[in-house]
Amino acid sequence: MSSSLKDLTRCSVAVDLGAARTRVHVKGTGLIVDQPSVVAVNTRSGALIAAGGAAARMDGRTPRHIRVVRPVCGGTVVDIDMAQRMLRALVGDQLRGVFRRRAFLRAVATIPHDADPLAHSAAVETLTGVGAKSVELVDAPTAAGIGCGLPVQRPEATMILVCGAATTQVAVLSLGSIVAAGTVHLGGDTIHNAVVQYVRNRHELLLPSQAVRPLHLALTQGVQGPTEVLGRDVVTGLARTVTIDPDDVRSAVQTPMTGLTDTIRAVLHRCPPDLVADLAERGMVLAGGSAVLPGLDERLRECTGMRVRVADRPELSAVDGLAALMDGRVPAITAPPARGGRSGTVRLRRRRPAAQGAAGSGPETSGDAPDASEARNDRPTGGGTTPEPVGDSSSDGERAMPEARTPAPGTAGPAAPSPT
Ligand SMILES: Nc1ncnc2c1ncn2[C@@H]1O[C@H](COP(=O)(O)OP(=O)(O)OP(=O)(O)O)[C@@H](O)[C@H]1O
């Protein structure tokens, strides 16, 4: 078994800090938090008024002295203090029970595949600030792939799209690592904003957020009839109803949708031909909350000609993947049979902490077109202690997976083990 898998099985709390929702899974207990990543604070006193669903319900309805804050953006913590306050409020007593059982609390969290060292340290600092003594980071596509039940550890390619709130991460995984990946600014919130903007420009009407979801249905090809929506007139400020044509909604989201198909093509372009042949057979899996966006799967099928499947619990794929890693339910990597058909073990060694400048410069962030072996061995480790396969990589055996990472030296790293 690889050392990184071992490290992950020592974790007892899994955290998926998303721009839209925060999910916390505790080993042996299950999902204890699945709430919007939102806090409401009193700007006069600085006191936290609400967190999660209660704070989200206040959004757009607050008096001047109450501010609704989203401390996570695109899977990256942008306000560490607010993120810690939010986690403390959401997890509260439930995590205190875990602390009582385990003095040395290890946590594992997802991070975007192209996160930079600052994003790594922000995630680690957030979790150490709420009591974790050490933090492992796993890139979101690998976690989601595992959560969807994809055989990411096998030598065949699998393509996963993690469709979040503001971004979609497109990744091709093989042998437990990302071979090629890209990110596009398309997600549930992007589609929401595109529709709101369209109605504002075309009909001079401001839509309340609950009026936008019904318009999403227009993205499904079969929908023909117009939809009536109620909003506030931009000029008069009075409530007014307008009729929206589904074709107009489709054209409003055309630009972000084209960005997604372009990114998929670019990722396929960077893949070695063997893996593209695998993908032609297997297709792609959609994970993340926006995977259920009406018509997204059929649009991707049409544009790419590939099979498209929506994961069973797309919004929970990433946290389910982290839970599987903590529980040790993910088998070690199996390499393709060697010429002689003999199997062996690829030993692992800890990589020396890399220079900080090299951190986060993985193949998918550099924009280069790496071959598969480069991509697997030169992972975006964040300059941490990712185990690295040594020896003959073409032989059978086990290799480290997934990309468990700790932050670069010099950044806010995992807390040192306490003597307790
Ligand atoms: N039934 C639905 N129809 C359309 N969109 C949906 C639906 N359910 C959730 N979404 C969208 O999914 C998004 C949230 O997905 P998810 O919880 O995976 O995001 P996240 O992990 O917090 O975001 P990110 O990965 O960008 O940090 C929101 O933008 C939401 O609008």
Quick one: pLDDT at residue 388?
Answer: 33
Quick one: pLDDT at residue 408?
Answer: 39
Does residue 234 share a domain with residue 100? no
Q: Is 21 in the pocket of ligand 1 (CB under 6 A)?
A: yes
Q: Is residue 299 part of a domain?
A: no
Does residue 202 share a domain with residue 134? no
Spatial contact of 134 and 415, defined as CB atoms under 8 Å apart: yes
Q: Say how many Å lie between the CA of residue 288 and the centre of ligand 1.
A: 6
Cα(86)–Cα(83) distance, integer angstroms: 5
CATH for 199: 3.90.640.10
Does residue 93 share a domain with residue 23? yes
Q: Is residue 144 part of a domain?
A: yes
**Which DSSP string do the residues of 303-355 spell out, in sequence order?**
HH-S-EEE-SSGGGHHHHHHHHHHTT-SPPP-PPPPTT-------EEEPPPPP
Q: Is residue 199 part of a domain?
A: yes
Quick one: pLDDT at residue 222?
Answer: 66
Does residue 146 share a domain with residue 20? yes
User: C-alpha angle 191/196/197, rounded to 5°?
Assistant: 95
Cα(252)–Cα(272) distance, integer angstroms: 35
CA 368 remoteness from chain centre: 22
Residue 208's CB is within 10 A of a number of other CB atoms, namely 13
Does residue 66 share a domain with residue 126? yes
Q: Is 188 in the pocket of ligand 1 (CB under 6 A)?
A: yes
Determine if the peptide bond prior to 208 is cis (ω within 30°). no
Q: pLDDT tens, position by position, for the chain (420 residues)? A: 344 788 899 999 999 999 999 999 999 889 999 999 999 999 999 999 999 999 999 988 889 999 999 999 988 999 999 999 999 999 876 766 666 666 678 999 999 999 999 999 999 999 999 889 999 999 999 999 999 999 998 888 999 999 999 899 999 999 988 999 999 998 989 999 999 999 999 999 999 888 888 888 777 766 667 888 899 999 999 999 999 988 888 888 888 889 999 999 999 999 999 899 999 999 999 999 999 998 899 889 998 999 999 999 999 999 999 999 999 988 776 555 554 433 333 232 333 334 443 333 333 333 333 333 333 333 333 333 333 333 333 333 333 444 444 443 333 334 333 332
Q: Is residue 214 part of a domain?
A: yes
Last residue of a domain, one of 226, 253, 280: 253
Number of structural domains found in the chain: 2
Q: Say how many Å lie between the CA of residue 20 and the centre of ligand 1.
A: 6
Quick one: pLDDT at residue 391?
Answer: 33
Last residue of a domain, one of 253, 285, 301: 253
Ligand 1 atom 4, closest CA: 293
Ligand 1 atom 16, closest CA: 289
Does residue 246 share a domain with residue 336? no
Cα(92)–Cα(48) distance, integer angstroms: 14
Q: Is residue 124 part of a domain?
A: yes
CATH for 128: 3.30.420.40
Does residue 221 share a domain with residue 148? no
To which H or E segment does residue 286 belong? strand 284-287
Torsion angle of C-alpha atoms 355, 359, 363, 368, degrees rounded to 10: -70
Q: Which atom of ligand 1 is nearest to the CA of 187?
A: 29
Q: Is 20 in the pocket of ligand 1 (CB under 6 A)?
A: yes
Check residue 409 and report its DSSP letter: B
Residue 213's CB is within 10 A of a number of other CB atoms, namely 12
Does residue 19 share a domain with residue 141? yes
Last residue of a domain, one of 253, 275, 308: 253
Q: Say how many Å lie between the CA of residue 414 and the centre of ligand 1.
A: 29
To which H or E segment does residue 278 belong? helix 273-282
Ligand 1 atom 21, closest CA: 18
Residue 61: partners with Cβ closer than 8 Å, 6 or more residues away: none
Q: Is residue 219 part of a domain?
A: yes
Quick one: pLDDT at residue 103?
Answer: 64
Tell me the residue ranges of DSSP E strands in 70-176: 72-73, 76-77, 106-111, 134-139, 158-163, 168-174
Cα(402)–Cα(5) distance, integer angstroms: 7
Identify the burial level of 298 via C-beta atoms within 10 angstroms of its C-beta, where 0-12 means exposed, 13-18 middle and 19 or more buried: middle
Q: Is residue 274 part of a domain?
A: no
Q: Say how many Å lie between the CA of residue 290 and the centre of ligand 1.
A: 4
Q: Which atom of ligand 1 is nearest to the CA of 20?
A: 22
To which H or E segment does residue 53 belong? helix 53-58
Cα atoms in the Cβ-side hemisphere of radius 13 Å centred on 148: 27
CA-based diameter of the chain, in Å? 79
Say what angle helices 254-269 and 188-203 make with each other, to 10 degrees: 150
Ligand 1 atom 8, closest CA: 289
Check residue 10 and report its DSSP letter: T
Does residue 140 share a domain with residue 8? yes
Range of the domain at 84: 3-152+317-389
Quick one: pLDDT at residue 122?
Answer: 97
Residue 275's CB is within 10 A of a number of other CB atoms, namely 22
Which residues share a beta bridge with 184?
168
Does residue 137 share a domain with residue 210? no
> What phi-psi label fits residue 106: left (phi over 0), alpha (psi between -120 and 50 degrees) or beta?
beta
Q: Which atom of ligand 1 is nearest to the CA of 22?
A: 22
Does residue 328 share a domain with residue 246? no
And the tokens for 319?
Answer: 């946290």
User: What's the pTM?
Assistant: 0.79
Identify the burial level of 345 via C-beta atoms within 10 angstroms of its C-beta, where 0-12 means exposed, 13-18 middle and 19 or more buried: middle
Cα(42)–Cα(48) distance, integer angstroms: 6
Does residue 209 share a domain with residue 137? no
Work out whether strand 284-287 and strand 158-163 pair parallel, antiparallel, or are unpaired: parallel
Q: Is residue 170 part of a domain?
A: no
Q: Is 147 in the pocket of ligand 1 (CB under 6 A)?
A: no
